[in-house]
Amino acid sequence: MNQNKNTKTRTITTIAVMAAAAFILQLLGTVLPFKVGGFLEIEFSDLPAIIGTLSLGPVSGVVIELLKNILKCGVTTTGFVGELANFVINGIFVLVIGLVYKYNKTRRGAILALLAGTLTIALSGILANILILLPLYMPSADFSSRLTLALTVITPFNIVKGIVLSIITFYIYKPLSRIIHNR
């Protein structure tokens, strides 16, 4: 029983540290000197959630994304729409990665998980943006304008973002997982 309690405590602590790291990375900002479409940024704040989902499971990755965005609400400039968008899109991203990897914890499984996550943020980004996020962010835009923006700006952005984060994750995950799991 004590072993189980130590494992739970270690998991909760790791999630908290990963969420804090994600929040700090989010505050540091983007890797691009500009915002795509005026509001999209590739940032490294999703890396702790991806590492967390690969190391601890899909729920942990989603919790890291949730905590990161709750913390960001304290310094938001988007009226919470940016944080909602970040959580929805990146929560789906890490959830899919975690679910695929959970059943195939190999190098090939990691690649498949990262590819599935990238494909999923592209597809879910279209739906989430035209139905929920863009109406909140741009209330006066009609459906056709939202669909055009989602297909021509947001989807290519999400694909590039997924690829960039996947490549970085592929190279940093193994060394970090040894630290997380004390190996």
Per DSSP, what are the bridge partners of residue 36? 40
Total-model pTM = 0.86
Helices (H), the chain: 2-28, 47-56, 58-73, 81-102, 107-128, 134-137, 143-149, 155-180
Q: What is the architecture, at CATH level 2, of domain 2-180?
A: Orthogonal Bundle (1.10)
Residue 165 identity (one-letter amino acid): L
Give the per-residue pLDDT at 78.
67
Give the per-residue pLDDT at 183.
54
Is residue 122 within 8 Å of 159, Cβ to Cβ? yes
Give the per-residue pLDDT at 40.
67
Give the per-residue pLDDT at 50.
96
Q: How far apart are CA 5 and CA 3, in angstroms?
A: 5
In this predicted model, what pLDDT tens digit does every residue of 92-138 receive, in sequence order?
999 999 999 999 999 999 999 999 999 999 999 999 889 888 888 88
Q: Which residue stretches of the chain have pLDDT < 50?
A: none
Give the per-residue pLDDT at 36.
59
Give the per-residue pLDDT at 27.
81
* Domain segments of the chain as ranges: 2-180
